[in-house]
Amino acid sequence: MTDIVFCNVPMVHTVSPFSAPAILKSVVQQNNFKAKTIDFNLEFNTTLSDQNLQGFWQFGSTDTDTLVRAKKCVKKWAKQIFEHSPKWVGVSVFTYTCKIATEMLCREIKKQNSSIKIVLGGNGMGTGGINGSFDWSESLRKQNIIDAHIRSEAEESIIQLLKGNLSYNGINHNANHNQIKNLDQYNFPDYTDYDLENYRNRLPITGSRGCVRQCTFCDVHTHWKKFVYRSGENIFNEMKEQSQIHQIYEFNFTDSLINGSMKAYRDMIENLASHNVKADRPISWLGQFIARPSSQMTEEDWRLTKLAGAKYLSIGVETGSDKVRYDIKKKFTNKDLDFCVEMAYKYKVNIGFQMLLGYPTEYEKDFQDTMDMFTRYQKYKDIIEPHLGTTVAILPQTPLYEFAKSNHFKLGKTENDWWWHANPNLTLKERFRRRILLGKHVKDLGYELTGDKQEIQTILYIWTQYQKNLQVDQSKIHHSSSQEVHTQYYS
């Protein structure tokens, strides 16, 4: 008999395996319980030809044939779970696109064996961000479709649940959770149940939780009250051990920021650099990164970063305007960014620019600063990958949302639909105009603009829905093809 089977379900496109089941399996075993992990999402990343079934998992469908095939999948999953005779089943609800498969699986398990208990976890249970409502999972619990749901990190909660203590903080309707302070205390994630050959030779790794910044558009710091990080040596030891076990040498950090603690970061890159110099198969990695000034992250740090195997650093640049970036509370300047880009170029480390266009305090001059920034960095275009996104969304549970409410923003039906009397020209139409104009400018400069086609399609969809809400003439939006950015504009 198995104490708990952890599983994930469709539909998430991912190039690396889910870490939550592997982390929790290791924790459970560390506490002398028996656990198993099953990756039900994998088949939809290896067999992507069934568009109807993919669409069903994400959005639902009234198509009878697709529903029949979905039910067959769920019965097959339940059978696989029952083979391990579990007391509990834990389903990782990674995002909202996992809800349909999760609910169907839970209903099937209870239908066939009501004595098996089910617990859900993951941000996909909620709405409105990491601190949002958990009405969906609580509703399933009240209907006896599941027995529990865990909010936030589950290393401590899952052990208490297996011991029968369902009143522990973070379990069920209890919105509080006891944040873990010592992340070095746990064994490394156990991926031995995963079919890793069907992923792109990359494993996830988490070095910290929370963030040292308090960016106004983000809700992470309101959830993780304290920035907690593992020691650099502990992170290195996991990378070395996992690479030896699985013969996989590339890692993707899930952290909000991998260099949030420079002490831990230096310890990690020093260990990795020393290892890589001697290794037959060097370790490489990707992660999200702060653009720090030279006084905080020196050229020597950059040299070691390269030797340590840094393959790609994703930087939340957001804007080319120091003023707007200050308003966002990013806490670095264009001068700091100049140093960061120069070092990345010198040591041949690829970097991504994550942009946030149309912030409420962005005026025409600020937008021009962003245009000018990409012009200024044109000589570095071979290492810079711009990600322009769509435009600023004001999400619940964020400081920006609270700012909008207290400053009498006009908030529409969606997070993109907002207007502020203090910057009246920054309408939704103007924000979209700036996004499309910047996209054309960046392409003309020779940058490779990743994801632009999909983002433009999203913009067109948002605009269409906005027009429908206002009952405005659709002829006001002009586009000949979502593949041709330069032909799209608003009148």
Question: Final residue of a domain: which of 129, 162, 195?
Answer: 162
Asked if the structure places residue 178 within a domain, the reply is: no
Domains in the chain: how many in total? 2
Asked if the structure places residue 176 within a domain, the reply is: no
Asked if the structure places residue 415 within a domain, the reply is: yes
Helix, strand, or coil here: 5?
strand
Helix, strand, or coil here: 449?
coil
Same domain, 245 and 133: no
Same domain, 191 and 149: no
Helix, strand, or coil here: 289?
strand
Domain that residue 104 falls in: 2-162
Closest to 420 in 3D by CA, of 399, 435, 436, 403: 403
Confidence (pTM) = 0.87
Helix, strand, or coil here: 200?
coil
Residue type, position 177, single letter: H
Rounded Cα–Cα distance for residues 293 and 335 (Å)? 8
Question: Final residue of a domain: which of 162, 195, 214?
Answer: 162
DSSP letters spanning 68-130: HHHHHHHHHHHHHHHTT-EEEEEEE--SGGGHHHHHHHHHHHHHH-TTSEEEEESGGG-BSST
CATH number at residue 26: 3.40.50.280
Do residues 404 and 394 make contact, with C-beta atoms less than 8 angstroms apart?
A: yes
Same domain, 14 and 108: yes
CATH number at residue 478: 3.80.30.20
Asked if the structure places residue 173 within a domain, the reply is: no
Per-residue pLDDT of the chain (491 residues; tens, 9 = 90+): 999 999 999 988 888 899 999 999 999 999 999 999 999 998 777 765 677 888 888 878 767 888 998 999 999 999 999 999 999 999 999 888 899 999 999 999 999 999 999 999 988 887 655 555 678 899 999 999 999 999 888 999 999 999 999 989 889 866 667 788 999 999 999 999 999 988 888 999 999 998 898 899 988 877 778 899 999 999 999 999 999 999 999 999 999 999 999 999 999 999 999 999 999 999 999 999 999 999 999 999 999 999 999 999 999 999 999 999 999 999 999 999 999 999 999 999 999 999 999 999 999 999 999 999 999 999 999 999 999 999 999 988 899 999 999 999 999 888 899 999 999 999 999 999 999 999 999 999 999 998 888 888 888 888 888 887 764 343 343 333 333 333 333 32
Same domain, 358 and 389: yes
Asked if the structure places residue 64 within a domain, the reply is: yes
C-beta neighbour count of 491 within 10 angstroms? 7
On the 0-12 / 13-18 / 19+ scale of CB atoms within 10 A, 475 is: exposed
Same domain, 126 and 189: no
Same domain, 84 and 192: no
Half-sphere exposure of 274 (CA within 13 A, CB side): 8
Asked if the structure places residue 306 within a domain, the reply is: yes
Same domain, 12 and 97: yes
232 Cβ contact list (under 8 Å, min separation 6): 263, 264, 265, 266, 267, 268, 269, 270, 271
Asked if the structure places residue 172 within a domain, the reply is: no
Residue type, position 62, single letter: T
Asked if the structure places residue 468 within a domain, the reply is: yes
Distance set, CA 160 to CA 89, 152, 429 (Å): 15, 14, 51
Closest to 388 in 3D by CA, of 373, 400, 376, 398: 373
